[in-house]
């Protein structure tokens, strides 16, 4: 029997992608959609400016959108996926958890809270057990797990693959697609024939979230990894797919060949949305590229290439689809992890 799920913030860019991924999912059944008060009471077809490829799923199109309030969501919904703006999520998400709902959230609020697991299942699935600490400390019957920022999730799997060599310092420069800013985030006049070398708060997210993801959980407390991370974030005129240039300094000698082997052999999981191969490594120096490689593994894989030695250490490029692996797909994957681990 499928788990009944709801989507908070269902009309936005990530909300639409969540619906696209959840509608055919054999383990989940969409039972509730919420949005702003201006959309409440309308059919989803009326409320959403649908911009994801393909039509709105027929069994979702006529679903009535409700307000984003725990009293408006049916009690028999077992799992909520949140794509709310962080300013809304910081107020609303705890109220849902207090009301007993379990939540897999893409929103940035509370990602760095000590008792909130920030999870990439292939990297740190064991951090999910931090939910027991969360419930004890907050007195919740529900629970909240977060997936990281779309740019963080692109390079952290490659770092995890290299962790045995002793990560010391990481520099990363991102070339981020416009879809990462949402449908109304960057105007065409700003981005066409241009690049914007600043994305508000993005650099801090890469620098802090990566250390939490690579940290260790001892059953009671989570300690962050000691690697030093410095980031520079840039918006470029690609539609989907965040490309990142990474420099890594390690304790042990690390050749490009060893790094390529470590990345290519890094294990995936048997969760339904996890790709067969998590990291695809290209030999070509000009790969990966957003247009060519963002859809690897149905958009859930990470691509790496251009591995070479530099005066700083190992240098390489990596890429992931920012609205699938970096957002909606990551939330769905965490939902599958919650289901597998008996939290639903």
Catalytic positions: 150, 242
Contact 148, 184 (CB under 8 A): no
Residue 248, CA distances (Å) to 167, 209, 252, 299 in order = 7, 17, 11, 25
**Cα separation of 38 and 171, whole Å?**
43
**CA angle 30–34–39, rounded 5-degree value:** 130
**Cα separation of 15 and 237, whole Å?**
22
Give the single-character DSSP code of 95: H
**Cα separation of 26 and 1, whole Å?**
9
**Cα separation of 57 and 84, whole Å?**
21
Task: Enumerate helices (H) and strands (E) in the chain, giving the number of each.
Answer: 12, 14
Contact 306, 289 (CB under 8 A): no
Residue whose tokens read 């993801």? 213
**Cα separation of 344 and 329, whole Å?**
19
- Of the candidates 161, 165, 149, the residue with the CA atom closest to the CA atom of residue 111: 149
242-250 and 314-320 as β-strands: parallel, antiparallel, unpaired? antiparallel
H helix intervals, 104-216: 121-124, 130-138, 152-162, 188-191, 202-213
Q: At 29, is the secondary structure helix, strand, or coil? A: strand
Contact 272, 336 (CB under 8 A): yes
């Amino acid at each position: 029997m499928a788990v009944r799920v709801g989507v908070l913030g269902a009309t936005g860019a990530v909300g639409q992608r969540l619906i696209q991924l959840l509608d055919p999912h054999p383990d989940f059944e969409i039972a509730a959609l919420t949005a702003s008060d201006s959309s409440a009471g309308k059919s989803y077809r009326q409320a959403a400016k649908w911009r994801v490829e393909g039509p709105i799923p027929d069994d979702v199109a006529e679903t009535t959108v409700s307000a984003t309030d725990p009293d408006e969501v049916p009690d028999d919904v077992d799992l909520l996926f949140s794509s709310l703006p962080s300013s809304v999520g910081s107020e609303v998400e705890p109220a849902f958890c207090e009301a007993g709902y379990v939540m897999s959230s893409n929103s940035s609020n509370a990602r760095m809270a000590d008792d909130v697991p920030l999870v990439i299942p292939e990297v740190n699935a064991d951090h999910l057990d931090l939910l027991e600490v969360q419930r004890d400390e907050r007195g919740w019957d529900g629970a909240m797990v977060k997936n990281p920022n779309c740019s963080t999730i692109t390079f952290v799997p490659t770092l995890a693959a290299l962790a045995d060599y002793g990560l010391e310092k990481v520099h990363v420069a991102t070339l981020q697609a416009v879809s990462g800013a949402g449908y109304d985030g960057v105007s065409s006049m700003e981005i066409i024939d241009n690049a914007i070398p600043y994305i508000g708060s993005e650099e801090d997210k890469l620098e802090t979230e990566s250390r939490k993801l690579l940290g260790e959980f001892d059953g009671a407390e989570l300690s962050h990894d000691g690697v030093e991370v410095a980031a520079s974030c840039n918006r470029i005129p690609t539609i989907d797919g965040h490309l990142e240039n990474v420099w890594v300094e390690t304790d042990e000698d690390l050749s490009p060949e060893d790094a390529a082997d470590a990345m290519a052999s890094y294990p995936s999981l048997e969760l339904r949305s996890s790709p067969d191969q998590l990291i695809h490594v290209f030999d070509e120096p000009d790969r990966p590229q957003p247009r060519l490689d963002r859809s690897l593994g149905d958009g859930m894989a990470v691509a790496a290439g251009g591995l070479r030695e530099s005066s700083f250490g190992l240098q390489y490029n990596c890429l992931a689809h920012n609205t699938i692996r970096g957002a909606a797909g990551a939330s769905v994957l965490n939902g599958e992890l919650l289901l597998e681990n008996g939290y639903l």
